[in-house]
Amino acid sequence: MTKKSGLRATASAVVFALTASTAMADDVEVLHWWTSGGEAAAVGVLKDDLETKGVGWKDMPVAGGGGGDAMTVLRARVVAGDAPTAAQMLGFDIKDWASTTGKLGNLNAVAEKEGWDAVVPPALQEFSKHDGNWIAAPVNVHSTNWVWISKSALDAAGGKAPETWDELITVLDAMRANGITPLAHGGQAWQDATIFDAVVLGIGADFYKAAFIDMDEDALGGAQMVEAFDRMATLRTYVDDNFSGRDWNLASAMVIEGTAGMQMMGDWAKGEFLKAGQVPGEDFVCIRFPGTQGKVTFNSDQFVMFDQGGASEAQMAMAASVMNPTFQSAFNVVKGSVPARTDVSDAAFDDCGKKGMADFAEANAAGGLYGSMAHGHANPAAVKNAIYDVVTAHFNGEYDSATAAEELVNAVLAAQ
Ligand code: BGC
């Protein structure tokens, strides 16, 4: 090769590299399960933010609350060699992908530049890092031990938000007497499990930790677990006949419309109330599940980036956007969650959001923060799914409470 042609070859290689990297900077394809009205509004905030940075959004939504279906689609795509640029992921799924596949991109460069270590609480870093490396960007913190109550239905039922299990039952009874469905629920395994998070935490925080995080056999099969299942059976009596298979956002809609009194659901439900134009304190009331005040069962939505032979500019831009404090405020105000960063002001948040932020900070400081079993932050997917099966079988009357507690021990042991 002559010197001249060598130069030409080098120049075209540079042009190719630039073109390739510009093309990569243009787009991110993002797999997520944010398909309800409130969730889609939150996706819009992210999409718009990226567009201001010149990063286009290729949407890959997979319907199905809790993300079980999204994880199935993601696995199929990755196995087929067609990984998306980025994917929404929860807790132990992130750990699992990081440790078994080696396909998650390393985000250390952007994390170091933007100082993530100092602003993300250790409870979240536990899921965002693998072998000391950042492999996920946490966009929020949700929690599952909430109850969303129609204000008018509560007023008609005496007006006092319940603080204990007994008060909860009194309010549910009054709502039934008033001719509405007391408890709006969708009979899907992850929704049953979401209520179970709160019921178990309400019986005792140490019990929750022993059963779901330590997977202690005595806790899984003992008297407190039988009591938890008894409470689930009691709650089952307050749902309507058509609950089976109903999506969670349709259950939220029942409360919004006033045909049901309350929904026990994570704070993504607030996104539905807001999307419907409802105002906390005026149209709906948010409380911690009775008996769980000061405690939080959390789950954090995080974005992982699939390694494309090194991180692309678009991936780095997305990671930086997701972690930007102004963005975290704007996004979480709409989503119903609270920021994953500890340095974001609560000024833009409504009363439920302010309470969520204060509760998270308080629980974090006082050791009252527990990973949500239902949303993949207490134990690996195999264990979680084993618990789902037993909880749902019991909720649908296949087991009595004592049998369910026994089955829970067997299921968790077999899944480990
Ligand atoms: C996610 C939320 C989502 C909810 C319902 C949870 O697992 O963390 O972001 O809104 O599922 O789909």
Give CA–CA dist 315/321, Å, rounded: 10
DSSP string, 146-204: EEEEEHHHHHHTTSPPP-SHHHHHHHHHHHHHTTSEEE---B-HHHHHHHHHHHHHHH-
| Two structure tokens written together for 119 | 């602003």
Whether residue 67 has its Cβ less than 6 Å from ligand 1: yes
**Ligand 1 atom closest to residue 268's alpha carbon, by position in its atom list:** 10
**Of 148, 169, 228, 242, nearest in space to 193 by CA:** 228
- Percent of the chain past pLDDT 90, that is, above it, reads 92
Q: How many residues does the chain have?
A: 416
Checking DSSP bridges between strand 133-134 and strand 129-130, what pairing results, if any?
A: antiparallel
Whether residue 371 has its Cβ less than 6 Å from ligand 1: no
Give CA–CA dist 388/302, Å, rounded: 22
What's the pLDDT tens digit per position in 55-64?
Answer: 999 999 999 9
Query: For residue 237, what pLDDT is reported?
Result: 98
9 vs 392, residue with greater confidence: 392
Residue 219 has pLDDT above 60, yes or no: yes
**Ligand 1 atom closest to residue 301's alpha carbon, by position in its atom list:** 8
Whether residue 291 has its Cβ less than 6 Å from ligand 1: no
**What's the number of CA atoms in the CB half-sphere (13 Å) around residue 340?**
27
Query: For residue 294, what pLDDT is reported?
Result: 96
**Ligand 1 atom closest to residue 271's alpha carbon, by position in its atom list:** 10
Q: What is the mean pLDDT of the chain?
A: 94
What's the pLDDT tens digit per position in 336-375?
Answer: 999 999 999 999 999 999 999 999 999 999 999 999 999 9
What's the pLDDT tens digit per position in 240-259?
Answer: 999 999 999 999 999 999 99
DSSP string, 377-409: SSS-HHHHHHHHHHHHHHHTTSS-HHHHHHHHH
Confidence of residue 25 (pLDDT cuts 50, 70, 90): low
Q: What is the phi-psi region of residue 55: left when phi exceeds 0, alpha when psi lies from -120 to 50, beta otherwise?
A: beta
**Of 270, 276, 247, nearest in space to 184 by CA:** 247
Whether residue 186 has its Cβ less than 6 Å from ligand 1: no
CA-CA-CA-CA dihedral for 74, 76, 80, 83, to nearest 10? 0
Query: For residue 158, what pLDDT is reported?
Result: 98
CB 232 within 8 A of CB 412: no
Residue 16 has pLDDT above 50, yes or no: no
Atom 1 of ligand 1, residue of closest alpha carbon:
66
Query: For residue 26, what pLDDT is reported?
Result: 83
Whether residue 329 has its Cβ less than 6 Å from ligand 1: no
Furthest C-alpha separation in the chain: 92
- For a mutational test of ligand 1's pocket, the pick from 30, 32, 33, 146, i.e. the residue with the most ligand atoms closer than 8 A to its C-beta, is 33
Query: For residue 7, what pLDDT is reported?
Result: 37
Poorest-pLDDT segment among 8-17, 179-188, 217-226, 264-273: 8-17
Poorest-pLDDT segment among 196-205, 245-254, 302-311, 347-356: 302-311
CB 50 within 8 A of CB 279: no
Atom 6 of ligand 1, residue of closest alpha carbon:
66
Atom 10 of ligand 1, residue of closest alpha carbon:
268
Whether residue 65 has its Cβ less than 6 Å from ligand 1: yes
